[in-house]
């Protein structure tokens, strides 16, 4: 639900959607 909202907002402002790996890098999350 949260991710869907972010994807929708990102699409509305014309930002390309990051891949899951890119998102983890951006958010500094560890890979599972």
What is the per-residue pLDDT across 1-32, written as a single tens digit (0 to 9) for each?
788 887 777 777 766 677 778 877 877 766 66
pLDDT for residue 3: 83
pLDDT for residue 4: 85
pLDDT for residue 30: 67
Short-list 23, 24, 7, CA closest to 15: 7
Task: Report residue 20 as tokens.
Answer: 């899951």
Range of the domain at 19: 1-32
Model confidence, pTM:
0.34
pLDDT for residue 32: 61
Task: Report residue 2 as tokens.
Answer: 């949260």
Domain count, the chain: 1
């Amino acid at each position: 639900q949260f991710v869907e909202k972010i994807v929708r907002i990102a699409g509305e402002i014309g930002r390309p959607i990051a891949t899951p790996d890119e998102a983890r890098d951006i958010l500094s999350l560890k890979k599972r």
